[in-house]
Structure 1
Amino acid sequence: MIRGLLLAMGLLAAAPALAGPPQRIVSMNLCSDQWVLEFAAPERIAAVTWLARDPRMSFHAVRAAAVPVNHGRTEELLRLQPDLILAGSYTTRATVRLLRQAGIAVEELDVPSTLEEVAAQARRLGTLLGAPEAGERFAARIEALPAPAPHPLRVAVLRPGGSAAGRGTLLESLVAAAGHESLSAPGRTRLDLEMLLRERPDAIVTALDGDAPPAEATLWLQHPALRHATLRPPSVLPGSLWICAGPGNPEAVALLAALPSP
């Protein structure tokens, strides 16, 4: 069915080289949404994903409200007639393959795990989207983040479901950039109540706020054992600042650096 649609639209061809900055940009990944909304003018954005309008996950949710959205369906993306599509390295492989068979330029973004990699991705995307100066400015902003906090804390970052900021992740890199130590260990993907009581971190940070759906992490934070242990109430680090490598990361570092000392 999809191949027939491609033939009918005359799209089964080699991907053309872009003669200049792309004029009909489509993003099919939440994280590429953020870069597109950061660097491209609204009139050059054919669509971002519907997730880009969710402020719980998207740093640029307000900007996303002013541009069309897509749901990642191949036929839908083809009808947008994009000259560039941005996808993530985990985006559906079959869809990416079909889009390339249709002659559309598809760029895949990897998943940065350090701020140095975030800066490199900003430079790459700024150039690709026709805004190299903006990409360079953002990269320079990442590289000029303030010195780490003078009194480093042991921080337990509690993600939805109780998962932790594991070693080698961007979230741990953000904690380190703020001058703190993330309470995690190689191979550990979860924090539990017993570990929090045993390790007694200086600060607990959660991505959950009052509007978040019920999650195991929420229940832990309400457990009377934490109150009796006199652990500090958790601080909120909105997911929109760290779920993706991108524009929200400097603000995440600033919030983490501002955590009060015990």
Structure 2
Amino acid sequence: MAAAQAQPRIASTNVCTDQLLMTMADPVQIVGLSPYSRDPAQSFAAVEARRYRLLSGGAEDILMLKPDAVVSGQYDKRATRELLQQQGVRVVEFDVVPQSLDAIKQQIRAMAELLGHPERAAPAIGRLDASIARARAMAAERPIRVLPLWRRGWVSGRGSLISLLFAETGLANAAADLGVASGGFASLEAIIAAKPDLLLVSDGSDFAEDEGSALLLHPALERFYPPSKRIILPERLTVCGGAMLADAFDLLASELARIDR
């Protein structure tokens, strides 16, 4: 019990650091999580997050809880981070969208080290490497051009976690063929003209909840890209870079096994 009490107590202000924290920490170490930690659209660990205190996102309630450190994203509210630091609270910033697999692994190690559990990094990284290997094996049969297509025709390009997943797996991001660099909107006509082998979408539903998702169910897209030509990867698995990406790679592998190539 004494050893558990000596472990650093950490609060999180970002949905990505929430998930990384829950992956590496003992429950007793988690002081509280960000306001979006329980949002199933943004966090793969939304259900687990219900076990912990929900923070406001401001500095006041964090200061009252007196954590040993606060983990946040580098683009979180600057005023909150500065106020915490002025009050003597250690604030550790994480890059919520790492640009490389090495950067993701380094962040896993950094969180494990911060929590006093450096030994937990290796198994998490090992699981990530294993999931990547499985996805690579499924994508190795032939070159596959995949277009990641989201609401209202948004296409994920270079610098996104989707692009990182593709690069590590050996898939080609068809966004480049649409002239999309880091990301942008594409018209229905441009998507069809690009002729990607597959679409990657976040939802396999056959019902459009709003206009934003209606494009994905347009008859022209459904004709050329029925369910057998669509990889389904929920957005919550690709919002953040961390050990949770192992789930994304595993699902990508199972989807590649399912679809018609």
Cα 1:156–1:50 change in 2 (3 A) is: same
- Deviation of the 1:188 alpha carbon: 4.6
Range 107-116 or range 79-88, more displaced:
107-116
CA RMSD in angstroms, aligned pairs only: 2.1
Instruction: Give 5+ residue unaligned stretches, structure 2.
Output: 1-5
Range 163-172 or range 231-240, more displaced:
231-240
* Count of matched residue positions in the alignment of Structure 1 and Structure 2: 240
Q: Deviations over 1:92-142 (max 9, x none)?
A: 111101100000010001130222211111111111112211112212333
Equivalent of 2:40 in 15, 34, 55: 55
1:50 match: secondary structure: coil
Partner of 1:204: 199
In the TM superposition, what are the counterparts of 1:89-108 in structure 2 within 5 Å? Answer: 89-108=74-93
| Counterpart Cα distance in 2 of 1:59 and 1:225 | 32
Range 85-94 or range 57-66, more displaced:
57-66
TM-score by length of 1: 0.84
AA partner of residue 191 (structure 2): L
Partner of 2:103: 117
Partner of 1:175: 166
1:73 match: secondary structure: coil
Range 240-249 or range 182-191, more displaced:
182-191
Equivalent of 1:163 in 142, 154, 167: 154
- Deviation of the 1:208 alpha carbon: 3.6
Equivalent of 2:65 in 76, 80, 87: 80
Q: Deviations over 1:199-239 (max 9, x none)?
A: 121111112465996353x21111112234x3233332112
Equivalent of 2:15 in 5, 15, 30: 30
Partner of 1:136: 122
TM-score by length of 2: 0.84
Contact 2:151 2:215 in 1 (8 A): no
| Counterpart Cα distance in 2 of 1:207 and 1:160 | 9
| Counterpart Cα distance in 1 of 2:183 and 2:122 | 36
1:85 match: secondary structure: strand
* Higher helix proportion (structure 1 or 2): 2
Moved over 4 A (4+): 209-213
| Counterpart Cα distance in 2 of 1:146 and 1:171 | 17
2:75 match: secondary structure: coil
| Structure 2 residue 112 is matched with structure 1 residue 126 | yes
Contact 1:163 1:191 in 2 (8 A): yes
| Counterpart Cα distance in 2 of 1:249 and 1:90 | 21
| Counterpart Cα distance in 1 of 2:89 and 2:42 | 28
